[in-house]
Structure 1
């Protein structure tokens, strides 16, 4: 048999075999009544256990594709085309062929473990319940009356919210824009998706940070985008690497998270931020800036000027959201850019979901308009510093001989390098059994031997126990 199994694929071997036989039948190469190889013969040809072939045949039998006749072997069903009976679709084939790629299996595994289970969760990149502004939202609902239409909203989002975001960006981030240059999205993730789908073509090359936000990577792969890495060090990327990649690969877009980068917590120096913009101007290459964390800086001495605030030529598409400063469940994000770009993205969003729900937009607008917004940010920063310091203290006490880390001055993540030669995936499995979750570093970048601990998600009182459980998992 010329066909070979792909043992590096995420698709189980039995499913690859079943899919291959299904295709041969669909192409007419195995007509109805064809005798298929015995389980032992096929297992020997493919170099797998007989049980793998048995499972593959079981899948085909359950779909009505084959029949097993005692004394005659396994044959393609005589009525495989369903002339006299109905057939169940081979949903596995449909799932495999979909153009929108799934998250990596290990991410699906982590997600399945942390939801609905009593784990100490250092894995989820969101705020803990005790950091969300429930009291402020209750006060808004008690004092304000909701009079908005419950019909479809403007494709760019509610004008009242966009006006408040314009004021918020100027007051807090020194970004000047108009409501026409703002699009409300379902979190920053949708903004990234719209940019990739609407502004890039299959085969285009882009540059992104290594390591970086993991959930953007499947979006690039699904769109057929060629990706090239910008290594992130203690001080962020080296801007000259952008020039290097452009000269060799003609990159068409650069994706950056320069302020308290996820997962490293690094901050790109002001001079390097300016140099990134100089290179963008020289090359005519747009920068997509993802800015979840610049408002949660732990020191007034750090310059957290965004690329967008320094951009006077329109090179930067700016993305942010409420997820890391209020509540991820609101699903309120925004993207700021040239009017023609925003109109293009808004048209695509309208095709996808007919615009964002009005009620969370109304809540977000009232929250931004509240005198308590700045108070909430100060409280959030205070609590995140507390959580970070508790985490660092316990790591130094329990695991200082086994990992090292850069202390972040903002954001919600701690990027840890394992000193020992520990397989981070095996460590994760042991940790999950011990009731604690984290993200293996190689899910976020090209290097192994790292883990990301998100202190924003864990209640302060549970951090110490979480590190004790992590230590137990290492030995």
Structure 2
């Protein structure tokens, strides 16, 4: 006989209600038939009677069953009629499927920001309007000739944009490629999704940095992948540890974010980059390099990409305009062997028949325009200012209560709280005070870590936001 699963995250009463609804829909309990009493059903299922009462209440609220004093509980005649008919259980559908929802913390942050747009936002990983080249893009759009055709574009993306990306990568990232090896995507997320869905199989093991923002992406679990962390310090991952992971778990692919890593801001040293490429080549392992932050280096230094150092073709390179221009353009790219690009382009075409050509035209013109380099210089200057404001505010509001390594680029500050507190309680208390951040556990770390992202918050609000966070923290450690 069926029993509810006590290890499931779904409450027992919901499991019982779903099970009874299914049996009713299969005709095991026809319309008008009498259901077992609450007491008898509780005995059969090995639960408290109160649990069955809750399950019956759930079914009663949907009109599936009805109770009459002295007559017991029956399957409703009016809801089902002669043939079982009722509204689909959309809750069951919403909880089903193989693609998992966002993590609860991320859903809570999004909900809080929607409910109160005045919250000071240290959680969102995008640039504020004043850091985006809105004026320049508006001007480029105004000067752009009307498109001659608005049909489906090439599966790999708009040819002039692929050419512009190839030129950009050669100039700024030291990556030499041609447009035939470039796939245009709607940002880095789509690139990662295509890789996990098309190049890997359920059960495959992959290695990611620990902590890593990849822990926050349910797409890895949705694809049935097994994730194993490569511990990272202030200099990023230690490549030698890849060997033991491969030996223990037969790793199929490595995902890294070597320049100003999300969430830690770490910069992988050149010697570790060389060692990583050497080990990957020796073991025949592909590396996925996600490189969104390199051009935000506050000193404008030329930080090499792994792809530029790759001599054997081990690296799949991912980039986008989201962290250096505007996330709303939804333009990203991947550089890979042509056979891989063709495979992923075919899969992406099945999903959406290709991207809109208009934002691709805008992106191509921006990358090639005289506006691009001055924009980068302003962006670096403003991000450095925001980082310094954040660090000063933390020193003033939380002396001796927080530790961090100062990043030299990117938009994130990774902090360890000296008094370890519960992530969920701290987030809720911070929301009450008027500020949001991302708990470190979202990225695979233990509790007691937080990520402050300073790209979104206005400069004048950073000090106030940290003061509010300090109030929330102190409220929990008194």
- Structure 1 and Structure 2 fold alike (TM over 0.5): yes
Provide closer, same or farther for how the CA distance between residues 407 and 43 of structure 1 changes in structure 2, counting only shifts above 3 A.
farther
Aligned partners of 1:473 and 1:329: how far apart in 2? 32
CA apart distance, 1:75: 3.1
Q: What pairs with 1:15-414 in structure 2 (closer than 5 Å)?
A: 15-26=14-25, 33-38=33-38, 42=42, 50=50, 53-77=52-76, 83-84=82-83, 86-115=85-114, 117=116, 118-214=118-214, 217-300=217-300, 304-414=303-413
Q: The residue matched to 1:295 in structure 2 has which SS?
A: helix
Question: Number of matched residues?
Answer: 472
Aligned partners of 1:182 and 1:442: how far apart in 2? 35
Structure 1 residues 215-238: Cα deviation after superposition (integer angstroms, max 9, x where no partner): 763111111111111112111011
Provide closer, same or farther for how the CA distance between residues 468 and 270 of structure 1 changes in structure 2, counting only shifts above 3 A.
same
Aligned partners of 2:84 and 2:213: how far apart in 1? 49
The answer to whether the 8 A contact 2:35-2:73 is kept is yes
CA apart distance, 1:4: 3.7
Provide closer, same or farther for how the CA distance between residues 281 and 472 of structure 1 changes in structure 2, counting only shifts above 3 A.
same
246-255 vs 207-216, greater mean Cα deviation: 207-216
Q: The residue matched to 1:232 in structure 2 has which SS?
A: strand
Provide closer, same or farther for how the CA distance between residues 49 and 73 of structure 1 changes in structure 2, counting only shifts above 3 A.
closer
Output the aligned Cα RMSD: 2.3
Gapped regions of structure 1 (runs ≥ 5): none
CA apart distance, 1:149: 1.8
Aligned partners of 1:359 and 1:56: how far apart in 2? 52
Structure 1 residues 273-305: Cα deviation after superposition (integer angstroms, max 9, x where no partner): 11111111111111111111011112355x621
Q: The residue matched to 1:252 in structure 2 has which SS?
A: strand
CA apart distance, 1:254: 0.8
Q: The residue matched to 1:202 in structure 2 has which SS?
A: coil
* TM-score normalized by the length of structure 1: 0.94
The answer to whether the 8 A contact 2:170-2:176 is kept is yes
Aligned partners of 2:413 and 2:131: how far apart in 1? 18
Moved segments of 4+, more than 6 Å: none
* TM-score normalized by the length of structure 2: 0.93
Aligned partners of 2:304 and 2:375: how far apart in 1? 21
The answer to whether the 8 A contact 1:148-1:358 is kept is no
CA apart distance, 1:27: 5.8
The answer to whether the 8 A contact 1:39-1:54 is kept is no
The answer to whether the 8 A contact 1:288-1:316 is kept is yes
Q: The residue matched to 1:282 in structure 2 has which SS?
A: helix
Structure 1 residues 223-266: Cα deviation after superposition (integer angstroms, max 9, x where no partner): 11111111121110110121111111111111111111100000
Aligned partners of 1:259 and 1:67: how far apart in 2? 62
Aligned partners of 1:235 and 1:57: how far apart in 2? 57
The answer to whether the 8 A contact 1:412-1:455 is kept is yes
The answer to whether the 8 A contact 2:42-2:49 is kept is no
Provide closer, same or farther for how the CA distance between residues 423 and 185 of structure 1 changes in structure 2, counting only shifts above 3 A.
same
Provide closer, same or farther for how the CA distance between residues 91 and 372 of structure 1 changes in structure 2, counting only shifts above 3 A.
same
The answer to whether the 8 A contact 2:265-2:413 is kept is yes
Provide closer, same or farther for how the CA distance between residues 387 and 240 of structure 1 changes in structure 2, counting only shifts above 3 A.
same
CA apart distance, 1:372: 0.9
The answer to whether the 8 A contact 2:4-2:16 is kept is no
Gapped regions of structure 2 (runs ≥ 5): none
383-392 vs 440-449, greater mean Cα deviation: 440-449
CA apart distance, 1:212: 1.0
2:440 maps to: 441
